[in-house]
Amino acid sequence: MKEIFSIGRNLTARDKCMNGNYNKNYIGNGSHLGTIYPLFSKESPSDFFFNMEDIINFRTKNNLNIELDKVALVEKACLPYLLGNRTLITDVERAPWMHSYSNQRWINESLPYHGKSKPNKETFVCDLKTSLSNEAIGYIGKANTVGILLSGGMDSRVVAGVVRDLQKNNRSISVVGITWGNANSRDVIYSQRICQQFGWEFVHFPITAETLHKNIQLSAKMGAEVSALHFHAMSDVADLKGVDVILAGSYGDSVGRAEFSGKHVTKLSSVLPSRINNLGLIKDELFQSALESIRNDAQLPAFHNAGDNNLRKYEIEQECHYMRRMLQSCMHVVAEKIPFYQMFTAPSVFGLMWGLEPNIRNNDWYVELLNILPGQLLQIPWARTGILYHLPEGTADEFDKSYHQYGLWLKTELKDEMLNAMNSKSIRELGIFNEYSLDALVSSWGIAKGASNNRLDEVVSWIASLNTFINNNQSLNLAEEIPYKYSDYYNTAKGSCYGMLYSLARNYLRK
Prediction pTM value: 0.95
Question: Is residue 315 within 8 Å of residue 227, measured between CB atoms?
Answer: no
> Residue 135 belongs to a domain with what CATH number?
3.40.50.620
pLDDT on residue 205: 99
Say how many domains are in the chain.
2
Where is the domain boundary, 56, 87, 111?
Answer: 111
Provide the percentage of residues in the chain whose pLDDT is more than 90: 89
Which of the four pLDDT bands, split at 50, 70 and 90, describes residue 111? very high
In a domain, 456, yes or no: no
Question: Is residue 46 within 8 Å of residue 23, measured between CB atoms?
Answer: no
400 DSSP assignment? B
Going by C-alpha positions, the residue among 228, 207, 210, 209 that lies closest to residue 468 is 228
Which of the four pLDDT bands, split at 50, 70 and 90, describes residue 170? confident
Q: What is the mean pLDDT of residues 284-305?
A: 97
**Averaged confidence pLDDT in the chain:** 94
In a domain, 424, yes or no: no
pLDDT on residue 94: 97
Which of the four pLDDT bands, split at 50, 70 and 90, describes residue 479? low
In a domain, 128, yes or no: yes
Residues 355 and 230 in one domain: yes
Residues 98 and 137 in one domain: no
Residues 99 and 137 in one domain: no
pLDDT single digits (tens) 95-105: 999 999 988 88
pLDDT single digits (tens) 45-62: 999 999 999 999 999 999
Which of the four pLDDT bands, split at 50, 70 and 90, describes residue 5? very low
Element (H, E) at 38: none
Residues 103 and 133 in one domain: no
Residues 105 and 126 in one domain: no
Q: How far is CA 72 from the centre of its chain?
A: 17
Buried/exposed code over 68-82 (b: 16+ C-beta within 10 A; e: otherwise)? bbbbbbbbbbbbbbb
pLDDT single digits (tens) 211-240: 999 999 999 999 999 999 999 999 999 999
**Pairing mode of beta strands 39-41, 92-94:** antiparallel
pLDDT single digits (tens) 248-271: 999 999 999 999 999 999 999 999
Residues 98 and 184 in one domain: no
Task: Report the first-to-last Cα separation within the chain, whole angstroms.
Answer: 57
pLDDT single digits (tens) 347-381: 999 999 999 999 999 999 999 999 999 999 999 99
Q: Is 255 helix (H, G, I), strand (E, B) or coil?
A: helix
Which of the four pLDDT bands, split at 50, 70 and 90, describes residue 152? very high
In a domain, 79, yes or no: yes
In a domain, 89, yes or no: yes
Give the list of residues 6+ apart from residue 275 with CB closer than 8 angstroms, or none: none
> Which residues span the domain enclosing 347?
121-262+310-379
